[in-house]
Amino acid sequence: MAAYPKAQYNIARAPRSAGQDGFILLGILLVAVGLLALAFPLVAALSVNLVAGIALMAGGFATLAHAFRARRWRGFTLQIVLGLLYLVGGVIVILDPFAGLIALTALLGAVFAADGAARVMLALRIRPDRAWGLFLASGLLSLLLGVLVLAGLPGGWSVAFLGIIVGINMILTGASFLCCTGGRRGV
């Protein structure tokens, strides 16, 4: 005979709240958008490029507006130059989206390569400490990814890389929301 009554094992689930439904809906939406981004990586990359161009233009307008409000400041002239640089950069990215996309992809490749090289140096520096091998493997992978992205620029295949990253990020974020339905875990 069991020491505990069987009724104790019948755990009733609480009904889902509207907040939990929101988590599920958001998760499904993000996974769907992520799958679309993976199916059409160039479109996703161009969308990121458009957002970057708009952000540069907004930053340019804000910097120029601040510069004119603080005319007596010693940094006035430099702030005007920076505001115009942001503004022109944003206009170029929007008017020539493929040039902007190539610039963003080159920057991303350079960041991955530099990050990888730094992590390889870190791994060699902390060797034989615990997990130095993970730093080494992570650094080598990042370095390889950066080199592949930069090497793929002349052929044009790596411009879609930005869209692939966006797609993977959306899918993982959506899966996270699906797994976390907004409820608290019992202690």
- End-to-end distance of the chain based on CA atoms, in angstroms? 29
pLDDT at 186: 43
Does residue 41 have a cis bond before it (omega within 30 degrees)? no
pTM across the whole model: 0.70
| Amino acid in the structure at residue 44 | A
Q: Is the pLDDT of residue 9 over 60?
A: no
Sequence length of the chain is 187
- Tell me the C-alpha distance between 160 and 6, whole Å: 57
**Phi, psi torsion values for 185, nearest 5 degrees:** -80, 140
The answer to whether the CB of 60 falls within 8 A of the CB of 94 is: no
- Tell me the C-alpha distance between 147 and 29, whole Å: 33
pLDDT at 14: 56
Beta strands in the chain (DSSP E): none
CB count in 10 Å sphere of residue 53: 21
pLDDT at 21: 82
pLDDT at 31: 95
Query: Cα-atom radius of gyration of the chain, to the nearest Å?
Result: 24
- Residues 148, 151, 154: CA angle, nearest 5 degrees: 140
Summarize pLDDT for 171-180 with one digit per residue, the tens. Answer: 988 988 888 7
- Residues 159, 176, 11: CA angle, nearest 5 degrees: 165
CA atoms within 13 A on the CB side of 83: 14
pLDDT at 181: 65
